[in-house]
Chains A and B, each alone.
Chain A
Amino acid sequence: MMMAVSGTALEICEVYDPYVREWKEGGGRVVGYSCVATPVELIEAAGLLPYRIKALGNPRTDLADGEMSLFNCSFCRSCLQLALDGTYDFLDGLIETNGCDHLRAMFENWQHNKNLPFFHYLKVPHFFRDDSLEYFRRELELLRKHLASHFDAPVEDDALKRAIEDWNLVRERWRELCSLRELPEPRVTGSEALALELAGSRMRGQDFAELLSSFIEERKKAPGKKPRARLMLCGPATDEVAWMEEMESLGAVVVADALCFGSRAFLHRPGTGGDPLEELAEGYLTSIFCPRMYKEYDKRRSYIMETAKRAGVDGAVYLYNKFCDLHGTDSVLVRRDLENSGIPVLVLEKEYSAAADLGRIKTRVQAFLERIGGGV
């Protein structure tokens, strides 16, 4: 479970990595979450470290397969495996969200088997409307209270506003990072961006913003290179840096993405002027660019089309794990709409972290690159 972001202090990332270890050894507590609809600002304002659940390419699922079926998403099974084998025992609590059927099953099995001292179910509506917004705001209020009572850590408005500012800075830096990816000669690869996101998704906002800043400054000075093809990658929670590196090793660069572990995690823009919970509720609920949101396909399409055009992509790869009905179904519409606007699309369905899949997928990507004019 290694990944590297060259030229930064971050060289190794594993589930329980030095950053988290240091935090724990300093007496800090860690709360896990999985879905980008979870406002990390609330966790952070309670003095806790938000940790986004990931599997970092863990291919083993034998323990999880005893609980979930082989018809369930292998990413969720892989994460559950790490819970069952004790890797995630450092967590002091977990926040469930109703992201998808697989995720809910993963959380339930986690809870039944590990009995975490703090478990909270954050219920996220499936559409944005005035009535669902009000419901979600109240959900955030309940989360705030539960965090405060369980961890004996009141979440004050001032602390929350500071956390919002810190994370808004992260989002701003992320956009800067994206602009470096989108240059004619990109300065940042897709796998580097993914590695940064994975690193940041277990950090405090302030530290993450600093990491991004130093990385950006370094890359601004570095020369870029014209890639063989400019790709956009769309899909769900994919935390396989090695997989993306393999794809980029064929000469393409992922210059833009609409990934859940990726740019989609940075689209929330809570305001800072009003009631922080209201700002958070609106900022998050309006910016969940996930197919789990209904009657919002037009919004997702616009976002994908605008990003693809701005980044000048030659083609798009829509990637999802087998049995992901949400992304699998959306992929049909995305492919139709991108191709209608002249952007070729390759849809890839794969198993999470399956080494056996890699050769097949590389062959398909290679053929796709040749098709879109990126052949050598």
Chain B
Amino acid sequence: MTLEKGYVMRPGENGFERAVGILEMVYKFAENVSDEAVEGAANFVFPELKNTVLGLLELPANRDLEIFFFQRLLELFWEAQRAQSEGKKLIFIPFTFPPELFWAFDSLFPLCTEIVSGAIVNICYGQGERFWDYAVSLGLPDSLCSGNTIGIASLLAGPGLKPDAIVYNTPGSCNPNAKIHAFAADYLGVPQFILEKPVDESPRGREQYYKYLLRFVRELEEWTGEELREERLREVMQRAYRAVDLYNEYWELKKARPCPVPNIFSMTLLVLRSQMWGREECVEVLQRMVDISKERLRKGEYTAPEEVARIYISYIYWLFDFYNYFTWMEKKGISILGDILAIHYFPPIDYSSKESMLRAYADIAFDYPMTRQMGGESISLRWVDDICYAAQDLGADACVFGGVHACKHTLGTISFFRRELMKRLGIPTLVLIGDVFDKRQTPMEIFQREVETFVDQVVSRKKAGRRRK
């Protein structure tokens, strides 16, 4: 692969390595970063990174947390880079797979494909477009998901990090996700491990899933030569459940009006859940997120003069421009209450045995975001049920469906979803189609224009109408 001028890749590096190299700047910030320092940093870097810096740091409430969080993420990336030389097997996992299971193996290091993509897109010059283009140049369809394809294509494209195996769990719930992971394994000639969720919500379906999970664990054990130890699993699951307690607090805080939780924390939670759950850093970051939000609630702090709208993102966030998405909405008085990936179901856990913990893990994974809805017996009904629950519980005024062109399951059922949501809760949905990581699909300017019009013309008028009655 020829490196184009301006991409500043160094020999032996690829997208991931470059992102890690640039991310090291998070250690350059002093404590209590000032507005001037943020402005200086934003003007020092290239334009795409500028919006990442501003999205994370411009609003004072986010600043310390995001620096702390990205320092922890960077340390985790360093660990990933060292993993193979330290005798561990590096595996790529999709964001639909709860990572805590893998942390319980001493000999495995899981790296989430979509987090790699996200790092490349939000940190590197060119926002990963070169990797997307590279994938398409191999002949892969341009209707695949940039969320995983950018990370995967960086693996295929050239030097740098290479996984020892690929793991995935979305056959039947998300074709593009499962297929690109399977493709990478076939293309690279590395082992692939699958956990399929039957589209069967009966007790038989859950039991089958549990059987598949046991088989999956056994295959990993055979491959690594390491038995999943009960004690180690308990340690990880206990940490995971400390995070669960904090997640529950975080959810409750979102209910307050105005919402005291900064919008950007939605992204932070997503990364924590996809990559760090089960590790101590995850608990530390979540604890700080909760503390900051509580403090804001206590002081009545809110970024905009008033909370104009409480929006539930009925699918997933667009994550290629933090500043013009999260920060922009926050400044406009639009609180983001969550997305489909923020809805988790954690069953009570019994730590007494390996089996009881794996039972709990199976339930977590069965009901994991997207696996639960898009892998449900009915995509549309499970999806609308869950969004209705979240939107009602958190007091949403409206939903925004930021569709992703790769996600054929939701795009194929969105009309029903929108009608049904209106029927059940009287909540309007703005439907937009774009992409999670590729700004070329629908630029953020269009997103902003549509959301602004929707909020002004539909949500605000509806609220005013309610007040008049």
Contacts and interface: CB of A to CB of B under 8 A. Distances in A.
Chains A and B bind each other = yes
Interface of A: 66-69, 71-73, 76, 98, 100-102, 104-106, 108-109, 112, 121, 123, 125-127, 129, 131-132, 135, 138, 291-292, 294-295, 297, 322-326, 328-333, 335, 347, 349
B408 A329 contact: no
Contact of B187 (A123, A323, A333, A349): A333
B412 A109 contact: yes
B34 interface: no
Contact of B186 (A127, A129, A132, A297): A297
B141 A323 contact: yes
What 7 pairs across the A-B complex have the smallest Cβ distances? A105-B412, A328-B141, A126-B171, A69-B411, A101-B408, A332-B139, A101-B409
B204 interface: yes
Nearest to A324: B141
Given A105-B409, A109-B416, A332-B138, A294 B199 contact: no
Which of A69, A102, A333 has the most B CB atoms < 10 Å from its CB?
A69
A51 B61 CA distance: 61
26 contacts: A67-B415, A68-B411, A68-B412, A69-B403, A98-B199, A101-B175, A101-B176, A101-B412, A104-B379, A105-B408, A105-B411, A106-B412, A112-B380, A123-B199, A126-B171, A131-B215, A292-B171, A297-B186, A323-B408, A325-B141, A325-B143, A326-B175, A328-B140, A329-B180, A332-B187, A335-B139
B193 to A, nearest CB: 9
A106 B414 CA distance: 12
Given A109-B412, A329-B140, 9 more contacts: A67-B413, A121-B199, A121-B377, A123-B198, A126-B172, A294-B178, A328-B144, A332-B183, A335-B139
Contact of A71 (B178, B182, B405, B416): B405
A71 B179 contact: no
A335 B183 CA distance: 13
Nearest to B409: A101
Contacts of B187: 332-333
A112 B208 contact: no
B370 to A, nearest CB: 12
A133 B310 CA distance: 47
B315 to A, nearest CB: 12
Nearest to A73: B408
A294 B412 contact: no
B227 interface: no
A108 B179 contact: no
Given A72-B412, A109-B413, A100 B175 contact: yes
Given A121-B199, A294-B182, A332-B183, A131 B143 contact: no
Given A72-B411, A101-B412, A297-B186, A292 B199 contact: no
Which of A66, A129, A294, A324 is most buried by chain B, counting CB atoms within 10 A of its CB?
A294
Given A69-B403, A102-B412, A109-B412, A135 B198 contact: yes
Interface in B204-241: 204-205, 208, 211-212, 215
Contact of B412 (A69, A138, A326, A347): A69
B289 interface: no
A295 B192 contact: yes
Contacts of B405: 71
B87 to A, nearest CB: 27
A295 B139 contact: no
B433 interface: yes
A69 B176 contact: no
A370 to B, nearest CB: 21
A108 B374 CA distance: 12
B448 to A, nearest CB: 22
A127 B219 CA distance: 15
B412 A325 contact: no
Given A294-B171, A325-B144, A332-B140, A102 B204 contact: no
Contacts of A297: 182, 186
Contacts of B172: 98, 126
Contacts of A129: 215
A97 to B, nearest CB: 10
B194 interface: yes
Contacts of A138: 204
B408 A71 contact: yes
Contacts of A325: 141, 143-144, 175-176, 179, 406, 408
B379 A105 contact: yes
B194 to A, nearest CB: 6
Contacts of A67: 412-413, 415-416
Given A69-B414, A329-B140, A331-B139, A108 B380 contact: yes
Q: Which of A100, A106, A109, A135 has the most CB of B within 10 A?
A: A135
Given A123-B199, A297-B182, A325-B144, A108 B194 contact: no
A71 B186 contact: no
B138 A71 contact: no
A104 B192 CA distance: 25
B367 interface: no
Nearest to A105: B412
A71 B196 contact: no
Nearest to B139: A332
Contacts of A328: 140-141, 143-144
Interface in B129-185: 138-141, 143-144, 171-172, 174-176, 178-180, 182-183
Nearest to A100: B175
Contacts of A73: 408
Contact of B183 (A131, A132, A329): A329
A276 to B, nearest CB: 22
B33 to A, nearest CB: 42
B120 to A, nearest CB: 21
Nearest to A331: B139
Contacts of B413: 67-68, 105, 108-109
B210 to A, nearest CB: 11
B245 interface: no
A131 B195 CA distance: 12
B200 interface: yes
Given A72-B412, A101-B409, A127-B194, A295 B182 contact: yes
Contacts of B186: 297, 333
Interface in B329-362: none
Nearest to B174: A101
A106 B412 CA distance: 7
Contacts of A331: 139
B378 interface: yes
A323 B143 contact: yes
